[in-house]
């Protein structure tokens, strides 16, 4: 979960590296480092965020270099553990994202040979392995080094006196930005957008030689690979804050557009079977991690309601180690980045079990798109804030589209129902805009939550997992302990924790559980817990039993998670802002979880 950037061309490499690292800092921000080919090999690295470290970085000439922003997985955040790493000769520099599982054995082997280590990291073994195998060809040395390791990697390296950057990937993303007389290596497209919109996606097991004049790709067997660049439709402006205080707030406000883009053409594609052709199935299994897991839980309610199809949800980190049942359900892998390590492993396991697989992801060309039978792209655009917002909302939209498709296939929805739900989905951008128009009211309503150490989020039916997502957002960026609960479970333990110091956020929409939900809220209020209620605009019964109420537009109850989610995102954002937290870069978290 780190950011890699490399540049070779005619311009000052340092300027381009630092710009790319700023754009990749959401992937890791506990340390920063660069290596520049400038009258030898110059290296600078230190612990801390870019904004604090950048003024201390020396200015070096040189038109080739590599850089790295780290999120610690092996070795604590420190200057010594920061990348790039340099070999004992001081001629080879290397940056890495991933985990080397056999690094302890390799380290001992290399130390016995006389190699001196300066860090606690697993990565450092790679640069010493390159030193061992280097005989004038950096690419051959990297390939030989990687043949010795077990684990995952995206890696880039350079050698003093050589005009090439060499790189490779296994289960971690790597892209090449194709310019004119200049090229870049990066973990993410956002790092190269200032240079070019033409990118080459490096595939699993491939290695690459990058020079100012061209790019050569090799497969795992050493054969050359021909591949045409892809033109990225995102612009540099798409990845900027656009006047908002934080990326997260900008991305919350981009959700009406994101929903529109997710729906654009997709209703027709779903109906025609272009996304998922007719297949004979009896069950569905949704597999995901984190925020995507919450979207999958909402998806269970949607699919069972629309398609009357038994649906289960499983954490990707658990699925891959489960024994399986011998059945072969349609297995839907949900991942924002398409690079989530556990979800990729689950996709491979599902295919080994003979399951038909469908990926729901935001990133075109990501690994998951190549390792599943079918792919649905959410088209949310780039998301920089670590806490997912518009990628989550488009995952919800994808679940509705999948439910419509399966319901049509199984004839559990008639044409009138499909038309009605499709029309209602098309109104979602307008309803979300309506919620955003009330942001100032939400900002005032959260004052009751700011002092709390613990908060419960309560919901029922399809909005139980929605409240799980609301609690996750709050804990991610405000560092308040928040628990999402099915409201009917209050009597089975959590009620003992409620008192005047423990606020509750409760959702009660106009569905078949509303009366039960109002009863649950009354139970909470009787324990003196302050209650922030979220319900349909004009709900006087709810307003009468809560301390403050936030209204959402009246929509069909099955679609209520969409406007409710936006309210919950704004609650988390405003609480975190009032507490002075680092909203876009919460501590200990990174955007793309590419290690187990």
Instruction: Give the catalytic positions in this structure.
Output: 2, 591
Q: Give the Cα-Cα-Cα angle 99, 104, 109 (nearest 5 degrees).
A: 125
Distances (CA, A) of 119 to 32, 77, 123: 15, 11, 9
Query: For residues 341 and 367, what is the distance between their CA atoms, to the nearest angstrom?
Result: 10
Tell me which residue of 342, 319, 331, 322 sits closest to 285, measured CA to CA: 331
CB atoms within 10 A of CB 188: 26
Query: For residues 500 and 498, what is the distance between their CA atoms, to the nearest angstrom?
Result: 7
DSSP state of 584: S
Torsion angle in degrees (nearest 10) through CA of 463, 466, 468, 473: -150
Element (H, E) at 536: strand 531-536
Pairing label, strands 284-288, 230-231: unpaired
Contacts of 594 (CB under 8 A, 6+ apart): 1, 97, 98, 152, 154, 171, 172, 173, 337, 339, 340, 341
Element (H, E) at 485: strand 481-486
Residue 267, SS3 per DSSP: helix
Per-position b or e across 25-51, b if 16+ CB within 10 A of its CB: bbbbbbbbbbbbbbeebbbbbebbebe
Contacts of 67 (CB under 8 A, 6+ apart): 4, 5, 6, 17, 18, 20, 21, 32, 33, 34, 35, 84, 95
Contacts of 523 (CB under 8 A, 6+ apart): 490, 491, 495
- The sheet with strand 175-178 has its strands ordered as 41-47, 31-37, 64-70, 3-8, 183-186, 175-178, 198-201, 230-231
């Amino acid at each position: 979960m780190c950011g890699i950037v490399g540049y070779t061309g005619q311009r000052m490499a340092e300027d381009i590296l630092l710009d790319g690292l700023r754009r990749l800092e959401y992937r890791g921000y506990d340390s920063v480092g660069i290596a520049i080919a400038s009258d030898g090999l110059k290296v600078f690295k230190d612990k801390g965020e870019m904004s604090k470290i950048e003024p201390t970085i020396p200015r070096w000439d040189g038109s080739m270099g590599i850089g790295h922003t780290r999120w610690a997985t092996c070795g604590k955040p420190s200057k010594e553990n920061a990348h790039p790493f340099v070999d004992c000769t001081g001629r080879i520099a290397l940056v890495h994202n991933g985990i080397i599982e056999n690094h302890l054995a390799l380290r001992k082997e290399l130390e016995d040979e006389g190699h001196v280590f300066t860090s606690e990291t697993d990565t450092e073994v790679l640069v010493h392995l390159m030193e061992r195998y280097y005989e004038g060809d950096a690419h051959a040395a990297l390939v030989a080094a990687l043949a010795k390791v077990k684990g995952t990697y995206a890696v880039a390296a350079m050698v003093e006196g050589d005009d090439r950057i060499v790189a490779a990937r296994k289960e971690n993303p790597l892209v090449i930005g194709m310019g004119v007389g200049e090229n870049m290596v990066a973990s993410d497209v956002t790092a190269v957008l200032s240079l070019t919109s033409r990118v080459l996606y490096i595939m699993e097991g491939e290695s690459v030689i990058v020079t100012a004049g061209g790019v050569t790709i090799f497969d795992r067997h050493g054969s050359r690979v021909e591949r045409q660049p892809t033109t990225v439709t995102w612009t540099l402006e798409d990845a900027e804050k656009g006047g908002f205080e934080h990326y997260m707030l900008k991305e919350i406000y981009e959700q009406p557009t994101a929903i529109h883009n997710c729906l654009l053409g997709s209703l027709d594609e779903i109906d025609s079977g272009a996304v998922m052709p007719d297949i004979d199935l009896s069950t569905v299994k949704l597999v995901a991690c984190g925020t995507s897991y919450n979207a999958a839980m909402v998806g269970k309610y949607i699919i069972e309601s629309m398609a009357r199809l038994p649906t289960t949800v499983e954490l990707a980190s658990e699925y891959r180690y489960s024994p399986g049942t011998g059945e072969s359900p349609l297995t839907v892998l949900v991942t924002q980045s398409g690079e989530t390590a556990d979800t990729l492993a689950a996709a491979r396991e599902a295919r080994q079990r003979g399951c038909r697989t469908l990926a729901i992801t935001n990133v075109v060309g990501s690994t998951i798109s190549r390792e599943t039978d079918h792919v649905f792209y959410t088209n949310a655009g780039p998301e920089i804030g670590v806490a997912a917002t518009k990628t989550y909302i488009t995952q919800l939209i994808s679940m509705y589209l999948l439910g419509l498709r399966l319901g049509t296939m199984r004839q559990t929805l008639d044409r009138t129902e499909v038309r009605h739900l499709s029309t209602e989905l098309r109104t979602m951008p307008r309803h979300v805009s309506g919620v955003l128009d009330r942001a100032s009211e939400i900002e005032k309503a959260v004052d009751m939550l700011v002092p709390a150490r613990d908060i419960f989020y309560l919901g029922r039916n399809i909005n139980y997992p929605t409240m799980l997502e609301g609690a996750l957002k709050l804990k991610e960026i405000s560092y308040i302990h928040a628990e999402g609960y099915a409201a009917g479970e209050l009597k089975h333990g959590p009620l003992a924790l409620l008192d005047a110091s423990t606020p509750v956020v409760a959702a009660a929409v106009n569905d078949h559980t509303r009366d039960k939900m109002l009863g649950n809220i009354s139970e909470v209020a009787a324990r003196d817990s302050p209650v922030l209620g979220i319900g349909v605009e004009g709900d006087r019964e709810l307003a009468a039993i809560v301390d403050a109420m936030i209204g959402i537009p009246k929509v069909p109850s099955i679609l209520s998670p969409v406007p409710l989610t936006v309210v919950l995102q704004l609650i988390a954002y405003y609480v975190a802002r009032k507490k002075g937290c680092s909203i876009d870069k919460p501590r200990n978290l990174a955007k793309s979880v590419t290690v187990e």
